[in-house]
């Protein structure tokens, strides 16, 4: 088992480059299965979840190959096989293969993922969308079994929640469906825009991605292409908070400020400036010696991202005064609180609110990561804690961050990975 050891107290400085986005690459890999041939995905991150998705492509008969930062997805052998529980349970984004299977073979059998550390994560909106597009869906023996004997057709769909995953599955299914689909209350995340850009490059006709109404005119076929995955906005945000928490100053490359406007405003209110130095590079600089306590509410894009909530909490532990974090997306995303408290943080949970009394010094301690973003939050706390922090269960971190500890070390942090 590996763990990360940090000796706190170093101000971060210098420059660092953000890797490609995990949450943008995952749906693009699934979308590659809609074309017959090899797609080349540039800037695909080397993280565990991407490996898991590649394994899923392999189980379904496709092939994947790494050429440095290019990931090649060859769907020539893609065939109608079940997506097994063993893979789906390790990564919920595996359900993105539902739509390509249905679209290309008119049938799909995909294991139901079940619960997860951060919440229940239902799939009702995915299934509602696919049913509207002509699929008959039933649950049997722990599997989603879907069939569209006559093929998929366009439909008018309204999502009850602006789900990222449901928007992905619906875009993938509607791209090759017969006729026009209108998707209302769609997720507007940059990862959805990146996916629509990929599908359009392959020959799809999608308009409005990035707004809550997306129009998809079905086409007969999609061709393989080379495509660039956007930088990971959550990694960019995590690095910005790392610089802020240490009162440092650094340049983050691969950072589109437009993808993180909510974070920019909240950091600015807390006393941290994010300044664009080019279209995709941002300088992070603290305006004062002290951080101010600022409340946040997590919301779908363009609201404050839930995937930066835990990291924001670490930052607020260092701000002088009280702040409130309201988690409105996931019902169980405060598991980092108990670990931050082991490091001396003063946090109280009331329902979906975390009440933080910041400003006291944190002290290094052995702590345990409970999920991907919680791991990042503990690392951030470790950067400013007195003494040594050791974080175990670091496999959670490796699911979605590419060598985060190397990036922080390059900025001057005293951080290393060790095998227990």
Q: Which residues are catalytic?
A: 116
Binding-site size for ligand EPZ (CB under 6 A) equals: 24
Contact, 225 vs 201, CB < 8 A? yes
Give the C-alpha separation, 243 to 245, whole Å. 6
Structure tokens at 72: 């090649």
Per CB under 6 A, which region of 32-40, 157-165, 350-358, 411-419 contacts ligand EPZ? 157-165
Q: Could you say which residues in the range 382-411 bind ligand EPZ, by CB under 6 A?
A: 400
Give the Cα-Cα-Cα angle 199, 204, 209 (nearest 5 degrees).
Answer: 65
Select 318 or 373, whichever has its Cβ closest to ligand EPZ: 373
Q: Torsion angle of alpha carbons 138, 144, 150, 156, nearest 10°? A: 90
Select 362 or 377, whichever has its Cβ closest to ligand EPZ: 377
Nearest residue to ligand EPZ on Cβ basis: 165
Per CB under 6 A, which region of 5-13, 73-81, 163-171, 381-389 contacts ligand EPZ? 163-171
Per CB under 6 A, which region of 148-156, 158-166, 192-200, 273-281 contacts ligand EPZ? 158-166
Shortest Cβ distance from residue 373 to ligand EPZ (Å)?
5
CA atoms lying within 13 Å on the CB side of residue 225: 18
Per DSSP, the three-state class of 330 is: coil
Select 262 or 365, whichever has its Cβ closest to ligand EPZ: 262
Select 4 or 38, whichever has its Cβ closest to ligand EPZ: 4
What order do you get walking across the sheet with 13-17 strand by strand? 13-17, 249-253, 281-286, 272-278
Among 33, 123, 173, 209, binds ligand EPZ (CB under 6 A): 123
Q: Could you say which residues in the range 187-206 bind ligand EPZ, by CB under 6 A?
A: 187
Shortest Cβ distance from residue 56 to ligand EPZ (Å)?
13
Contact, 348 vs 354, CB < 8 A? yes
Q: Which residues touch 15 (CB under 8 Å, ≥6 apart)?
A: 250, 251, 252, 253
Give the C-alpha separation, 359 to 347, whole Å. 12
Structure tokens at 240: 């910005």
Single out the residue of 282, 329, 290 nearest to residue 309, CA to CA.
329
Select 144 or 281, whichever has its Cβ closest to ligand EPZ: 144
**Residue 306 near ligand EPZ by CB under 6 A:** yes
Q: Could you say which residues in the range 217-276 bind ligand EPZ, by CB under 6 A?
A: none
Q: By the criterion CB under 6 A, which residues form the site for ligand EPZ?
A: 23, 26, 92-93, 119, 121-126, 161, 163-166, 187, 306-307, 329-330, 372-373, 400
């Amino acid at each position: 088992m590996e763990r990360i050891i940090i000796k706190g107290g170093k101000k971060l400085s210098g420059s660092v480059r953000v890797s490609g986005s995990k949450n943008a690459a995952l749906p693009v890999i699934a979308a590659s299965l809609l074309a017959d041939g090899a797609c080349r995905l540039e800037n695909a991150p080397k993280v565990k979840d991407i490996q898991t998705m590649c394994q899923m492509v392999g189980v379904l008969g496709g092939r994947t190959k790494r050429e440095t930062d290019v990931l090649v997805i060859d769907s020539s052998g893609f065939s109608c096989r079940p997506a097994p529980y063993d893979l789906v349970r390790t990564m919920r984004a595996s359900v993105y293969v539902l739509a390509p299977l249905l679209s290309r073979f008119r049938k799909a059998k995909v294991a139901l993922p079940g619960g997860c550390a951060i919440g229940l994560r239902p799939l009702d909106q995915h299934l509602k969308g696919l049913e509207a597009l002509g699929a008959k869906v039933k649950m049997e023996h722990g599997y989603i079994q879907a069939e569209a004997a006559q093929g998929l057709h366009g439909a008018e769909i309204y999502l009850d929640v602006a789900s990222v995953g449901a928007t992905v599955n619906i875009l993938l299914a509607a791209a090759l469906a017969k006729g026009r689909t209108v998707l209302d209350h769609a997720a507007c995340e940059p990862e959805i825009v990146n996916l629509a850009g990929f599908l359009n490059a392959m020959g799809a006709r999608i308009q409005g991605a990035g707004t809550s109404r997306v129009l998809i005119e079905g086409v007969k076929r999609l061709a393989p292409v080379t495509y660039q995955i956007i930088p990971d906005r959550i990694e960019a945000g995590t690095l910005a908070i790392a610089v802020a928490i240490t009162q440092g100053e650094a340049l983050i490359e691969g950072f589109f400020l437009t993808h993180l406007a909510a974070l920019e405003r909240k950091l600015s209110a807390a006393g941290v400036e994010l300044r664009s130095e080019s279209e995709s590079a941002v300088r992070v600089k603290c305006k004062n010696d002290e951080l101010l306590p600022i409340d946040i509410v997590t919301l779908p894009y363009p609201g404050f991202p839930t995937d930066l909530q835990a990291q924001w909490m670490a930052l607020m532990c260092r701000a002088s005064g009280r702040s409130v974090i309201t988690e409105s997306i996931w019902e169980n995303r405060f598991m980092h609180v108990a670990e931050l408290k082991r490091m001396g943080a003063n946090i109280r949970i009331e329902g979906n609110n975390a009440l933080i009394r910041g400003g006291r010094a944190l002290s290094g301690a052995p702590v345990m990561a409970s999920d991907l973003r919680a791991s990042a939050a503990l690392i951030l706390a470790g950067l400013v804690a007195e003494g040594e922090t050791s974080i175990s269960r670091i496999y959670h971190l490796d699911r979605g961050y590419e060598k985060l500890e190397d990036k922080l070390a390059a900025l001057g942090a005293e951080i290393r990975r060790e095998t227990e």
